[in-house]
Amino acid sequence: MKKHLVFLSILAVTAAVIIEAASLFSEMSEMPTENPGKGVTEIRMLSRYWPNLKGTAGDTEVFVLRGEKPGASMLILGGTHPNEPASNVAATVLIEHAKVNEGCLYIITRANRSGFTHNDPTEGYPQHYSIPLPDGSKRIFRFGSRATNPVHQWPDPDIYIHESGQALSGAETRNLNRAYPGKPDGTLTEQIAYSIVQLIKTEAIDISIDLHEASPEYPVINAIVAHNRAFELAAVSMMALDMEGLPFSLEPSPVNLRGLSHREWGDSTDTLALLMESANAIQGRLRGKTDEALIMTAKDSMYVRAAQLGRLYVDYSEKGHPLEERVGRHIAGIRAIIDAYNTLDKGKIFEVEKFPEYGELQEKGIGYFLNPLSKLLFQRFTA
Ligand SMILES: [Zn+2]
C-alpha cells in the first residue's frame, strides 16, 4: 500500500512538471504584439517572395515604409538571432516611430520567427522581458533562441554542409546566419534565407543591414562588418559615428566564411551588405546571474572582472551596457549608413526622419519611442 502511495506521488509530481513545462513551451508560440506607427505604409508576409514558406513557422511580417518620393531602398533585419534583443528592439522602434520621405525601407523585426518560439533552457534564459512606456504600461518582448525551433526543423545532421562545401557542427543547420543564400527546397532555415535573398533581388534593395549582438569576449563587437562592395559606405559611416562619440570597428566580411548575410547577400545580389554588432552579456560564457535585468542592463560583476583582466573586446564597467545603449548604437549606425549613402552620391537619395537620436534614446528611454497597446499583449502564432 505504502509503495503504491509513493509511486502515485512520484507520478503526480512528474505529471505536474510535464504540464507546467508544456504550458511554458506552448506560451512561447504567442508572439508579443507590435504596434506599427504611421510611417508603415504596408505589411506583407515574407512568403510573398517564396510561397512555399506560407503557413510555416518561418513566415514573418515585412513592414514597408514607403516615402512619398521614389529613391533608394534599404532592408533592415532584426531578430536573425532571437537571443540578441537589441536587434529585435531596434527594428521594432523603427517600425513604430520612423518615417521615410524619399525611398523605401523594408523592416523585418523577427527574421527567424521560429527561433522566437523557444529558448535554450540549459542556459537559464528568461522567456521574455518588458520595456516600460511613459504612460505606465509596458511592452513585452520575447527572448528566444539563436536557432530555429527543433519542433519546426528536426533532426540536425551530425555535420552541416553548406552548399559551398563548408562544414560546420550539425546544430548550425538551424542558424539563419549560416544558411544564406538559402535553398528553395532546403530546410526551413534555408527557405527563410532563400526568401530574404529573393526579397533583396525582387525589390532591388540598395542597402541591406543585418542587426546582431555578440558576447563581450567575442572579437567582432561594436562593429560594422561590410561586404567588399559596401566597405567604402561602412568606412564613411564609421568616421561620422566616431565624431559623434560612438566608436565602431570596421571589419571586412571574410571571403571564405560562407552562409553569412554580409557575405552571401553581397555575392548573390547587387545590394550593399552590412552587419552590425553590439555588446550583449547574456550571450556570453562568463556571465553570472541570468535574468531579465541582465537583458536590460547587462550589469554583471563577472564581466567587470573579466575586463580588468584584459579578457574582453569591449570596455566593461559597473554601468554595464544597457539595452538603450545597444539599441541606440544600432539606430545611430543605420542613420550614419543612410547619411553616408547620400554623401557618396550613388544617383539616388534615401531620406528618413524620426529616427531617435542616440542621446535622446538614452535620456527618454526606449519606451518613449514605442506605441502603447490598447489590449492584446500577445498574438497566437499559428504554424
Ligand atoms: Zn547574431
Is pLDDT above 80 for 94?
yes
Provide the β-strand partners of residue 74.
Answer: 105, 207
Q: Is the pLDDT of residue 125 over 80?
A: yes
pLDDT of residue 111: 98
Distance in Å, CA 312 to ligand 1 centroid: 18
Q: What's the pLDDT at 369?
A: 98
Distance 15 CA to ligand 1 centre (A): 36
CA distance 68 to 351: 10
Distance 205 CA to ligand 1 centre (A): 22
Tell me the C-alpha distance between 383 and 378, whole Å: 15
Domains by residue range for the chain, with CATH: 2-380 (3.40.630)
Distance 215 CA to ligand 1 centre (A): 9
Residue 147 has pLDDT above 90, yes or no: yes
Query: Does the pLDDT of residue 1 top 80, yes or no?
Result: no
Ligand 1 centroid distance, CA of 254 (Å): 16
C-alpha 206/C-alpha 225 separation (Å) is 17
Q: Which residues pair with 101 in a beta bridge?
A: none
Mean pLDDT in residue range 94-107: 98
Ligand 1 centroid vs 283 CA: distance in angstroms?
10
Contacts of 74 (CB under 8 A, 6+ apart): 103, 104, 105, 106, 205, 206, 207, 208, 209, 334, 338, 350
Residue 278 alpha carbon to ligand 1 centre in Å: 10
Distance 4 CA to ligand 1 centre (A): 51
Tell me the CA–centroid distance for residue 21 and ligand 1, in Å.
27
Dump pLDDT digits (tens) for 274-289: 999 999 999 999 999 9
Q: For position 376, what pLDDT does the model report? A: 65
Residue 358 one-letter amino acid? Y
Task: Annotate 63-121 with DSSP letters as a single string.
Answer: EEEE-SEEEEEEEEE--SSTT-HHHHHHHHHHHHH-EEEEEEEEEES-TTGGGGG---G
Q: Residue 130: its pLDDT value, please?
A: 95
Mean pLDDT of 353-363: 97
**What's residue 25's pLDDT?**
80
At 255, the pLDDT band (50, 70, 90 cuts) reads very high
Partners of residue 63 on adjacent β-strands: 43, 107
**64 CA from centroid of ligand 1 (Å):** 23
- 214 Cα to the center of ligand 1, angstroms: 6
Residue 381 has a pLDDT of: 54
Report pLDDT for 383: 47
Between these two residues, 278 and 20, which has the higher pLDDT value? 278
Q: What are phi and psi of 66, to 5 degrees?
A: -100, 130
What pLDDT sits at residue 379?
72
Q: Are 86 and 327 in contact (CB under 8 A)?
A: yes
What is the distance in A from the centroid of ligand 1 to the CA of 198?
A: 21
Distance 81 CA to ligand 1 centre (A): 5
Rounded Cα–Cα distance for residues 111 and 265 (Å): 15
- In this model, does residue 192 exceed pLDDT 50? yes
Grid cell in block for residue 100: 521615410
147 CA distance to ligand 1 middle (Å): 10
pLDDT of residue 121: 78
- Ligand 1 centre from 1 Cα, in Å? 56
pLDDT higher than threshold 70 for residue 251:
yes
* Poorest-pLDDT segment among 16-20, 72-76, 212-216, 249-253: 16-20
pTM metric for this prediction: 0.95
d(CA 372, ligand 1 centre) in Å: 28
Lowest-confidence range among 18-32, 176-190, 225-239, 271-285? Answer: 18-32
Ligand 1: centre distance to CA 277 (Å): 8
Which of 21 and 290 is assigned the larger pLDDT?
290
Greater pLDDT, 94 or 18: 94
Distance 274 CA to ligand 1 centre (A): 13
Cα distances (Å, whole numbers) of residue 269 to 10, 202, 273, 282, 338: 58, 10, 9, 34, 19
- Cα–Cα nearest to 91, from 70, 112, 68, 71: 112
379 Cα to the center of ligand 1, angstroms: 25
Determine the average pLDDT of the residues in 69-88.
Answer: 98
pLDDT cut 70: percent of the chain above it:
98
Q: Stretch 62-81: mean pLDDT, rounded? A: 98
Measured in Å, residue 80 CA sits from the centre of ligand 1 at: 7
- For 174-188, the pLDDT digits (tens) are 999 999 999 999 999
User: Which of 68-82, 121-135, 235-249, 254-268 is predicted least confidently?
Assistant: 121-135
- How far, in Å, is the centroid of ligand 1 from the Cα of 348? 30
Distance 210 CA to ligand 1 centre (A): 9
| Lowest pLDDT segment from 50-54, 102-106, 125-129 | 125-129
* DSSP state, residue 44: E
Q: Chain-wide mean pLDDT for the chain?
A: 94
Sequence-ordered list of residues with C-beta below 8 angstroms from that of 205, at least 6 positions apart, any chain: 73, 74, 75, 106, 199, 269, 271
Angle at 226 between CA 199 and CA 147, to 5 degrees: 60
pLDDT average, residue stretch 153-182: 97
Query: How far is the centre of ligand 1, averaged over its atoms, from the C-alpha of 131 (Å)?
Result: 21
Beta-carbon contacts of residue 114 (< 8 Å; ≥ 6 apart): 57, 58, 148, 149, 152, 153, 188, 192
